[in-house]
């Protein structure tokens, strides 16, 4: 897609809504519309097990709704939207939590059962958390972010009592038990499908849910549809009003918009931003826009290999990016800029916060010449095709802008089902991606994205002992209540990251959700996906 084609198509989106869309509600009509929720989105899950290899973001949505955790978060109000409270917890599978100096003990709900009727026991909890710290990759690193690394830390005291022993004092440990990864699985069921080569039964849970959560997957056709039905025996919270979720994958943004405007679909949350602006103005749907907690969209560069191993090349790219054009032509203002901070602006003890770069083509050309590339070079920029609505026009504008300084950039579109796998190989030279830290603390984001020691989302292959020391210092200071050292450490890792610029923040995205007027109960969660358990239809 060339820029003129992109801009032309953007202007035609309103007309696209009138195009006849494929019928996707035949199965929904079999039940009362009040008891069935039809969701349409651009992409769907590639794996319904959060512990699976390369599970994509849509896969998180299934896991969140089909499995329980020991604890979850309370809600607070942020600008009229229910928003998870980072610092307050509520019980989910546990009925009680007692946090001591170096351990936390949980009493399980005695009437909790898995979706096949098997009682949930502390042995299932231990097996599930043992699995999370053992399968490797993202799940294991997520657990380690809260200092949960060894099976020996998880103790089934008796059938109804479970204990977590702390490896060290870490303020991220308890919050880390409330994210998606430490979900509780039916260990007996999964073990029946385990093999010598697959001791944790990952092939089975890739396509089958084995939880005690509010919903269970009853049908899944990858790339087409996921059907989930309510688990009427759920005890993790108030029984949901919606009995059936039909999640249909509709790649065409125009068709998704048409389904909403006709009243056929109930919810969609990944329309182009222009559509959200127009739909909000029309007033026929409820539109909710919430900034990603602890999240940015960015341009990443592989700093291990030439030419992006050269700081001046990275600085040249940072000056060449068309920040404001992206804000205007791609996002239509539905994002918070993470660029153009005033030259003398002090570094904040916060994340995200803007860097001081603005678009300056002349300065970018000069830096590229100083780096030994007066005529530029050729490279590729990659993006997740599962979120093409934003990523593709963004990359078109970046491609056009980099061409002005001699960098010839071909666009590499990676299918959403493969994106995580390709990204985590850490070989893409230039790419755009979104990262949002589940635990809303600056050091947590930097542990994931900038730490040089086995950090899975440090996809830039960035290594800096200075940055690592600041991150580690912030973690230790937070655990010990040392505010002065904590603030110094946060400012230190932000300043170092912006001096080295292995990734260039563009903006803090918004989660935009379009709903019919009779749909209520939407809540914003750290994972940015829908929580079906609180949704209702009038």
Q: pLDDT tens, 154-188?
A: 999 999 999 999 999 999 999 999 999 999 999 99
- Ranking 17-21, 23-27, 261-265, 335-339 by mean pLDDT, the lowest is 17-21
- The answer to the question of residue 207 being in a domain is no
Whether 521 shows a pLDDT value over 70: the answer reads yes
pLDDT at res. 175: 97
CATH of the domain at 516: 3.40.190.10
152 and 275 fall within a common domain: no
Q: pLDDT tens, 420-452?
A: 999 999 999 999 999 999 999 999 999 999 999
237 and 133 fall within a common domain: no
Q: Identify the domain containing residue 518 by its residue range.
A: 22-64+214-291+511-537
Contact 352, 296 (CB under 8 A): yes
CATH of the domain at 117: 3.90.76.10
Contacts of 423 (CB under 8 A, 6+ apart): 431, 433, 459
Query: Would you call the peptide bond into 352 cis, given omega within 30 degrees of 0 as the criterion?
Result: yes
E strand intervals along 348-488: 377-384, 407-414, 430-436
- The answer to the question of residue 234 being in a domain is yes
- The answer to the question of residue 415 being in a domain is yes
What are the tokens at 445? 């984001």
CATH of the domain at 401: 3.10.105.10
Q: pLDDT tens, 474-490?
A: 999 999 999 999 999 99
> How far is the C-alpha of 52 from the C-alpha of 208, rounded, in Å?
12
262 and 229 fall within a common domain: yes
Q: What is the mean pLDDT of residues 33-60?
A: 94
286 and 179 fall within a common domain: no
What SS3 class is residue 301? strand
Domains in the chain, number: 3
**Largest Cα–Cα separation, the chain:** 70
Helices marked H in 453-517: 465-480, 483-500
- The answer to the question of residue 107 being in a domain is yes
383 and 456 fall within a common domain: yes
379 and 252 fall within a common domain: no
308 and 452 fall within a common domain: yes
Contacts of 134 (CB under 8 A, 6+ apart): 140, 151, 200
Distances (CA, A) of 474 to 176, 464, 489, 501: 17, 16, 5, 20
What are the tokens at 484? 């002065």
Contacts of 480 (CB under 8 A, 6+ apart): 169
pTM of the model: 0.89
For the chain, what percent of residues have pLDDT higher than 90? 92
For residue 94, the surrounding DSSP H or E stretch is strand 94-99
What integer best gives the mean pLDDT of the chain? 94
- The answer to the question of residue 372 being in a domain is yes
pLDDT at res. 456: 87
163 and 130 fall within a common domain: yes
> DSSP state, 330?
I
User: How far is Cα of residue 33 from the mean position of the Cα atoms in its chain?
Assistant: 30
448 and 392 fall within a common domain: yes
Distances (CA, A) of 44 to 94, 319, 340, 498: 30, 35, 35, 34
pLDDT at res. 2: 45
Q: pLDDT tens, 341-373?
A: 999 999 999 999 999 999 999 999 999 999 999
Contact 67, 212 (CB under 8 A): yes
| Closest C-alpha among 528, 364, 321 to residue 435 | 528
> How far is the C-alpha of 351 from the C-alpha of 445, rounded, in Å?
8
pLDDT at res. 273: 94
pLDDT at res. 26: 52
> How far is the C-alpha of 296 from the C-alpha of 322, rounded, in Å?
16
308 and 285 fall within a common domain: no
174 and 128 fall within a common domain: yes
- The answer to the question of residue 56 being in a domain is yes
Whether 3 shows a pLDDT value over 80: the answer reads no
For the chain, what percent of residues have pLDDT higher than 70? 94
- The answer to the question of residue 77 being in a domain is no
pLDDT at res. 270: 81
> How far is the C-alpha of 317 from the C-alpha of 308, rounded, in Å?
9
357 and 432 fall within a common domain: yes
Whether 378 shows a pLDDT value over 60: the answer reads yes
């Amino acid at each position: 897609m060339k820029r003129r084609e992109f801009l032309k198509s953007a202007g035609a989106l309103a007309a696209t809504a009138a195009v006849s869309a494929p019928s996707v509600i035949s199965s929904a009509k079999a039940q009362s519309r009040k008891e069935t929720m039809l969701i349409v989105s651009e992409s769907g899950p590639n794996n319904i097990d959060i512990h699976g290899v390369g599970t994509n973001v849509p896969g998180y949505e299934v896991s969140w709704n089909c499995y329980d955790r020991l604890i979850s978060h309370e809600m607070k109000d942020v600008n009229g939207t229910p928003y998870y409270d980072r610092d307050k917890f509520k019980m989910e599978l546990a009925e009680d939590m007692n946090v001591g100096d170096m351990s936390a003990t949980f009493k399980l709900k005695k009437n909790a059962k898995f979706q096949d009727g098997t009682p949930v026991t502390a042995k299932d909890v231990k097996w599930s958390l043992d699995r999370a710290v053992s399968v490797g990759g993202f799940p294991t690193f997520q657990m380690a972010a809260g200092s949960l690394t060894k099976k020996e830390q998880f103790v089934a005291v008796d059938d109804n009592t479970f204990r977590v022993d702390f490896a060290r004092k870490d303020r991220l440990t308890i919050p880390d038990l409330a994210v998606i990864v430490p979900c509780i699985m039916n260990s007996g069921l999964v073990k029946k499908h385990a093999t010598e080569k697959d001791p944790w039964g990952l092939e089975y849970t890739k396509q089958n849910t084995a939880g005690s959560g509010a919903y269970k997957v009853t049908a899944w056709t990858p790339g087409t549809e996921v059907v989930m039905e309510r688990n009427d025996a759920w005890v993790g919270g108030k029984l949901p009003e919606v009995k059936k979720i039909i999640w249909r994958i509709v790649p065409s943004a125009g068709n998704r918009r048409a389904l909403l405007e006709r009243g056929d679909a109930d919810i969609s949350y990944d329309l182009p931003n222009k559509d959200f602006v127009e739909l909000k103005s029309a007033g026929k749907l409820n539109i909710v826009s919430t900034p990603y907690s602890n999240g940015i969209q960015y341009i990443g560069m592989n700093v291990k290999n030439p030419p992006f191993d050269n700081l001046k090349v990275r600085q040249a790219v940072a000056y060449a990016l068309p920040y404001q054009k992206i804000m205007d032509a791609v996002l239509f203002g539905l994002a918070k800029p993470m660029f153009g901070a005033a030259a003398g602006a002090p570094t904040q003890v916060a994340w995200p916060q803007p860097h001081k770069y603005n678009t300056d083509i002349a300065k970018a050309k000069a830096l590229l010449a100083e780096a030994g590339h007066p005529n530029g070079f050729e490279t590729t920029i990659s993006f997740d095709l599962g979120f093409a609505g934003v990523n593709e026009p963004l990359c078109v504008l970046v491609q056009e802008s980099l061409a002005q300084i001699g960098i010839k950039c071909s666009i590499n579109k990676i299918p959403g089902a493969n994106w995580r796998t390709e990204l985590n190989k850490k070989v893409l030279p230039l790419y755009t991606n979104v990262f949002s830290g589940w635990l809303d603390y600056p050091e947590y984001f930097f542990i994931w994205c900038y730490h040089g020691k086995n950090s899975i989302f440090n996809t830039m292959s960035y290594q800096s002992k200075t940055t690592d020391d600041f991150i580690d210092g912030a973690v230790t200071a937070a655990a010990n209540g040392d505010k002065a050292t904590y603030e110094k450490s946060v400012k230190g890792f932000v300043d170092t990251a912006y001096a080295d610029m292995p990734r260039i923040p563009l903006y803090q995205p918004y989660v935009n959700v379009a709903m019919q007027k009779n749909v209520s109960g939407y809540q914003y969660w750290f994972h940015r996906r829908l929580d079906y358990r609180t949704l209702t239809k009038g």
